[in-house]
A = this chain, B = another copy of it.
Amino acid sequence: MSLNSFGHLFRVTTWGESHGPALGATVDGCPPGVPVTAEALQHWLDRRKPGQSKYTTQRREADEVEILSGVFEGVSTGTPIQLMIRNTDQRSKDYGDIAEKFRPGHADITYWQKYGIRDYRGGGRSSARETAARVAAGGVARAALGVLLPDLVITGCMVQMGPHGIDRACWDDEEIGRNPFWVPDAQAAEDWAGYLDGLRKSGDSVGAVIEVGAKGVPPGLGAPVYGKLDTDLAAAMMSINAVKGVEIGDGMSAAALTGSANADEITMGPDGPVYSSNHAGGILGGISTGQEVVVRFAVKPTSSILTPRKTITKSGEETEIVTKGRHDPCVGIRAVPVGEAMMACVLLDHVLLHRGQVGDGPRGQIG
């Protein structure tokens, strides 16, 4: 019921503000005996870390994760794993202007209205820095999945930046790690670099669409109604800062299809059912089919921009605001590892839930 937790059996509670001493994740329910090291978690955190290219915020955070509990002699003990990341670069003076003014499009105003708290040092709990804790927790989930589903591969990438989509015909998994945008289309990477440079220089920002796929998910994960795999994925992705839309498979486009066009036809392959297409995104009736699970989410543009915008102060006076600080021109870039982490957490949770209720493996056989 905690408002800062997600997951059922594999349950992650994050804590910490952008300008407090530290932030982290309390990870409960990890199976025992899973190899977990700070180094392995750091690998994932480094992918999300700010300041890695000119396209992300220049805030300098080491994002070094410490494991404070739940791991003994290199393996998980089955008890809570506490992951802590110290905040080291908190130049809060940059934020001086926002102590009294609300940034349009930012949580400043609602946070104040709800709690009566204005953390003038930064976004407090609303800051995207919180996602570092998710990535660390996702690293634990990946480690457990490595034991339970060794063939699982989770891949996130950017498929749209602002109005510019990719050419899916040019999709190359290898390309994803080669450019600063995690985009699988080399030409798009090149084009977007110029586009984003222009935006950055003009002090503006832009949104993006992230796609996360998971190959090797067995059939049978999920449940028919509220415990649906897609329900939990939608919640997980929508809970990421700045996300405004979530799609499974064809997503919003499914509305435009006829039933005959939408249904993925089924034939029998040597290892079980084979589908002619994947409009469903690997999930039917809330339960995984065994196809690739495909989720997309839209990240809105950063609201902390240099372009002056009309706003009000806490005392209700009308004014303008320009947010200096060190912000991401396209915060969607750093959302890629976050989306992967959420996918890992949700999948592990459903593997454990399924094992709890049904036992290992699917229960109904085909053929």
Contacts and interface: CB of A to CB of B under 8 A. Distances in A.
Interface in A198-256: 199, 204-209, 219-228, 230-235, 237-239, 241, 244-256
Given A113-B289, A241-B285, 20 more contacts: A1-B7, A20-B69, A21-B66, A23-B68, A23-B69, A104-B266, A105-B280, A106-B284, A107-B287, A109-B284, A110-B219, A113-B220, A114-B222, A118-B364, A204-B258, A238-B248, A251-B252, A267-B318, A355-B356, A360-B360
Contacts of A22: 68-69, 82
A259 B69 contact: no
A64 interface: no
Interface string A18-50: 001111101011011100000000000000000
A52 interface: no
Contact of A300 (B81, B113, B255): B255
Instruction: Please indicate which of the listed interface residues A24, A237, A299, A364 has the most CB atoms of chain B within 10 Å of its own CB.
Output: A364
Interface size class of A (residues with CB under 8 A): 35 or more
A288 interface: yes
A256 B250 CA distance: 18
3 tightest A-B CB contacts, nearest first: A107-B285, A316-B367, A356-B356
A239 B266 contact: no
A156 interface: no
A91 interface: no
Contact of A260 (B78, B118, B266, B305): B305
A268 B318 contact: yes
Contact of A227 (B3, B113, B117, B130): B3
A362 interface: yes
Contact of A115 (B28, B111, B279, B363): B363
Copies in the complex: 4
A8 interface: yes
Interface in A90-111: 102-111
A315 B367 contact: yes
B245 A254 contact: yes
Contact of A126 (B219, B285, B311): B285
A142 interface: no
Instruction: Please indicate which of the listed interface residues A33, A69, A221, A281 has the most CB atoms of chain B within 10 Å of its own CB.
Output: A69
25 contacts: A1-B11, A4-B226, A14-B225, A15-B69, A15-B70, A15-B79, A15-B82, A23-B68, A32-B117, A78-B358, A80-B125, A110-B222, A110-B289, A113-B362, A116-B362, A163-B256, A225-B239, A238-B246, A244-B249, A245-B251, A257-B300, A262-B301, A263-B309, A265-B311, A268-B318
A232 B318 CA distance: 33
A113 B16 contact: no
A156 B173 CA distance: 41
Contacts of A288: 110
A184 interface: no
A146 interface: no
B205 A259 contact: yes
A253 B119 contact: no
B239 A244 contact: no
A81 B257 CA distance: 36
